[in-house]
Amino acid sequence: MIQCAYALYFFIRVFWLPSAAHLLVKDRQPVSIIICAKNEAANLKENLPSILSQRYSNGSDSGGDGALYEVIVVNDASNDNTAHILMEMEQWYGNLWDVVILPDAKRALQGKKHALSKGVEAASYDWLVFIDADCVPASHDWLEKMVAPLAKGKQIVAGYGGYHQDEGLLNAFMQWETMHTFLQYSTYTLAGLPYMAVGRNMACTRQAFLQAARSPVWNALPSGDDDLLVSIVGDKENTTIVSDPDAFTTTTAKTTWAEWRKQKQRHLSTGKYYKPAIKLLLGLFGASHAGLWLCFFALLFFPHPLTAIIIMCVRCFIYWTIWAATASRLGSKNIIYFLPFFDIGWLVYNFAFFPYITHKDEKNWK
């Protein structure tokens, strides 16, 4: 009953996700795109051209003098070829700037938070868009669609950041987990309970960022800026979702389970700083999911297993239908056939990462 209540109150809202509209030129305001980079020379060389070729201008050609946006790359004490790559690209793009943080620089904030603060300080404009160096926008209209809600008065815009499809079980599970996370935070936002976004594809106003940065919990972790910003500032009036495929970003998935585990430890460390009501809702959902499967397997050995099978079939029909529709919308149809296995796999996932969800912190952002 608890699992079905979540599906029918929250997750079914995925069918009503709004799509971003094009902005009229007169409604456009200048935008600062901020990228925090630490030893990202190869990714910057590959992905920056797509970010710098967005069709977001004052009526002239995008890129160059007509562009109504700037791209600020914060070089956070890199020891690779990042500085050289940026120097070369700045000769070609007049709206590309870099901010350098030296290895021995004093840091007022932990990890990525310090780099972000330097990027926002250097930003010329009040509309801010965040993307990671290893991400590429899905289209030349990515920027316009991500900031369109800001023109309508929103302060925070959460987008979708997916993974390039590749072979292997790890890649498929990462796509499923990312899809499931999006399903949760997008439908919670539609229900008036925003609690997170992904830093590789989000937008906000400078005011919202500065308000979050003044919170006592902002510097609790070296990362988690995306979730904390939404958790601290977001509400049902000022936060929205953009689910237009042209507004997606994609990145390359981790190739080993050890790398993925390290990444998830960092991501999940933020959850303990959510608002109490959100922690209760997310915790109850995870507990009911675990209880459902454990009870199901146990009841198969009792005198009336058919009852357990019927109940589980009803629940799975509801969930797998919603998950399949979400996967199709996000361009991840290849994982639909794995849904029964990943449903059970998520039980193992929650048990494995329980310490980081509840009390442990990951201390590095790279």
The whole-angstrom separation of Cα 211 and Cα 107 is 20
- Residue at 316 is within a domain: yes
Asked if residue 187 and residue 69 are part of one domain, the reply reads: yes
Report if residue 270 sits inside a domain. no
Residue 192 DSSP one-character state = T
Q: Determine, yes or no, domain membership for 243.
A: yes
**Does residue 129 share a domain with residue 39?**
yes
Is 221 inside a domain boundary?
yes
pLDDT at 345 over 60: yes
> Per residue in 20-42, pLDDT tens?
677 777 789 999 999 999 999 99
pLDDT of residue 260: 80
On whether both 177 and 230 belong to a single domain, the answer is yes
Q: What is the pLDDT of residues 177-222, one digit of tens each?
A: 999 999 999 999 999 999 999 999 999 999 999 999 999 889 887 7
Number of structural domains found in the chain: 2
Does one domain contain both 252 and 311? Answer: no
Check whether residue 243 and residue 309 sit in a common domain.
no
Boundary of a domain, candidates 258, 287, 316: 258
pLDDT at 138: 96
Q: Report the amino acid identity of residue 94.
A: G
pLDDT confidence of residue 223:
73
Q: For residues 38 and 134, is the Cβ–Cβ distance under 8 A?
A: no
Task: Please state whether the predicted TM-score (pTM) of the whole model is above 0.95.
Answer: no
Q: Does 230 map to a domain?
A: yes
Domain finish residue from 225, 258, 291: 258
| Percent of the chain with pLDDT strictly greater than 90 | 76
Residues 246 and 339 in one domain: no
203 and 155 assigned to the same domain: yes
Q: Does 32 map to a domain?
A: yes
Neighbours of 249 (CB within 10 A): 24
Amino acid residing at 80: D
DSSP label of 67: B
Q: Do residue 282 and residue 228 come from a single domain?
A: no
8 A C-beta contact, residue 99 and residue 122: yes
- The last residue of a domain, from among 258, 289, 311: 258
Q: Looking at the predicted structure, is the pLDDT value of residue 265 above 80?
A: no
Which residues form the domain of 226?
A: 16-258
Question: What is the band of 356 on the pLDDT scale with cuts at 50, 70, 90?
Answer: low
In a domain, 174, yes or no: yes
Q: How far apart are CA 236 and CA 247, in angstroms?
A: 22
| One domain for residues 164 and 304 | no
Q: Are residues 225 and 159 in the same domain?
A: yes
Q: What is the CATH number of the domain that holds 224?
A: 3.90.550.10
Tell me the pairing of strands 31-37 and 69-76: parallel
- Position 359 scores a pLDDT of 52
For the ranges 226-240, 246-260, 265-279, the one whose mean pLDDT is highest: 226-240
Q: What is the pLDDT of residue 20?
A: 67
Residue 17 corresponds to which amino acid? Answer: L
CA-closest candidate to residue 58, choices 94, 32, 31, 33: 31
The pLDDT tens digits of the residues spanning 81-122 come to 999 999 999 999 999 999 999 998 998 888 889 999 999 999
Range of lowest pLDDT (62-66, 124-128, 313-317, 337-341): 62-66
- Please report which confidence band the pLDDT of residue 267 belongs to, taking 50, 70 and 90 as the band edges: low
**Sheet of 161-163: strands edge to edge?**
135-137, 249-251, 161-163
Mark whether 92 and 128 lie in a shared domain.
yes
Mean pLDDT on 292-312: 92
Helix (H, G, I), strand (E, B) or coil at 57: strand
Nearest alpha carbon to residue 306 among 296, 315, 316:
296
Average pLDDT, the chain: 90
Cβ-contact 224, 273 below 8 angstroms = yes
**Residue 362 pLDDT > 60, yes or no?**
no
**Per-position DSSP letters for 202-232, written without gaps between them:** EEEEHHHHHHHHTSTTGGGSSS-HHHHHHHH
The verdict on residue 272 lying in a domain is no
- Strand spans (E) along the chain: 31-37, 69-76, 96-101, 127-130, 135-137, 156-158, 161-163, 202-205, 239-241, 249-251
343 and 212 co-located in one domain = no
Q: What's the confidence (pLDDT) of residue 363? A: 53
Count of positions (residues) in the chain: 366
